[in-house]
Amino acid sequence: MLHILSDKYFMEEALREAAKAAVEGEVPVGAVIVSQGRIIARAHNLTEKLRDVTAHAEMLVLTAASDYLNSKYLENCTLFVSLEPCVMCAGALHHSHIGRIVWAADDQKRGFERFGRELLHPKTQVEKGLMAEESSAMLKKFFNERR
């Protein structure tokens, strides 16, 4: 298996997106969507720049992936995201029927999971914790610099 096809490779790309957000003064969360072993969409949090609470990385990357595939549904895609999705993003992911979600760090305050996995589509596979330390470190650094 080529390194380029590994989950870690794709999560590194999601973290690269998160790092772009930090540089722009946005809470560093990044995401990529993969279809057939290729990244078809990438995005990072833009809520400050756009002054729009809906502009989370996951929302932007879902819209971009649907645009690329010309399909509302993403059953055969995987989302790699650097932080556990919030309720809004979990709801959007449900609507998309996305095949698989891999997130890095948990978000105990705003993550969707405390409301239950049933916020996601029953067919969506979930994995978490991949590169969680790297993602948490980036978030901590961002907030520490702003205190």
Closer CB to its own copies, residue 15 or residue 121?
121
Q: Which are the contacts of 46, defined by CB distance < 8 A and separation ≥ 6?
A: 21, 24, 26, 52, 55, 60
* Of 14 and 93, CB closest to its own copies: 93
Q: In whole angstroms, how close is the CB of 74 to its own copies at the nearest point?
A: 9
Q: In the complex, which residues of this chain contact its own copies (CB under 8 A)?
A: 47-48, 51-54, 59, 62-63, 66-67, 70-73, 86-92, 94-96, 112, 115-116, 119
Query: Which H or E run contains 66?
Result: helix 57-69
The overall longest dimension of the chain from CA atoms, in Å, is 44
- Minimum distance, C-beta of residue 57 to its own copies, in the bound complex (Å): 13
Q: How far is the CB of 9 from its own copies (least distance, A)?
A: 27
Catalytic choice (13, 26, 58, 84) = 58
**58 among known catalytic residues:** yes
What SS3 class is residue 136? helix
CA within 13 Å, CB half, 119: 19
* Nearer of residues 15 and 101 to its own copies, judged by Cβ: 101
Q: Pick the closest to residue 81 from 20, 12, 6 (CA basis).
A: 12
Residues serving a catalytic function are 58
